[in-house]
Structure 1
Amino acid sequence: MARTEYYDDPNAPEPNSMVVAASAVVTNDEGHILLQRRRDNDLWALPGGAMEMNESLPQAAIREVKEETGLDIEITGLVGTYTDPRHIIAYTDGEIRRQFNICFRAHITGGQLEISDESTELRFVAVSELDNLPMHHTQLLRLKHALLRQEQPHLG
């Protein structure tokens, strides 16, 4: 299933669902950030996805990182909330999503890095490389907020 992301686009389709999702900025000991190249749009992104009915948002982030990367993580903080109604995600199955994302900071506690069916590549990326990767600007925004390490999370 393919995915198209729109931002502040008057031609974007009207959303027909709202999804609560969690993502995580996972770093290794060298401070490099774990990113996945998404199979559905070929862009680099943080691991993450929709929260299930029987879990909390931190649990969703932990589960999604495990499913998408094979790594076990521990949540260490909150990067921010990302609820901009101008960001619309359309899927080829007809779902047109307005996403509500909470982005966490996390570190690795175990597991082994392995690609899931949702990605074509996984990589720990140096901060200096982030601007050179094909990435939707909403993902880059989360990364920039994480790197600021502000005392208060981003609220948006």
Structure 2
Amino acid sequence: MAASGTHRLCDVVLDETIGRSTPDVEHERAVAIFDLIEENSFAPVGHPGGPYRLNLSLMDSKLVLAIKTESGEDVTTHILSLTPFRRTIKDYFMICESYYEAIRSATPSRIEAIDMGRRGIHNEGSQTLMDRLKGKIDIDFDTARRLFTLVCVLYWRG
């Protein structure tokens, strides 16, 4: 699906239920939000068009996606269990640690191999997110990648 002026996010807000973290984590969250808003394709199924504002919050270990139009009209709210993402996020953080350690001392071929694995796990999480949103929100794979990055950063404690 090609992003149009109306099938996109114009704002992403993290609710206070997400909690605040270290300055490094807050910076990573801001970058993830910026990247997501900068380029995305986002269309709640059955709604004629936005642009949309997305409010993310946590409730009972579930991710709540509250969607409004740019003018503030409620569109829909979806609640996703984070259970299907836990293993992928854990694996992603582990391989990211390996990647950052490798940057300091490993050979370029070793760094590249670890980075390929990191991208593969990230793609797996992005596909899981697309599958979980199927029939609820139409997003393209690049938007799923950016949104999965944001979900990961919500877990990161620095």
Q: Scaled by the length of structure 1, what TM-score is found? A: 0.35
Higher helix share: 2
Higher gyration radius (CA): 2
Q: Scaled by the length of structure 2, what TM-score is found? A: 0.35
Higher strand share: 1
RCO greater where, 1 or 2, for CA within 8 Å and sep 6 or more? 1
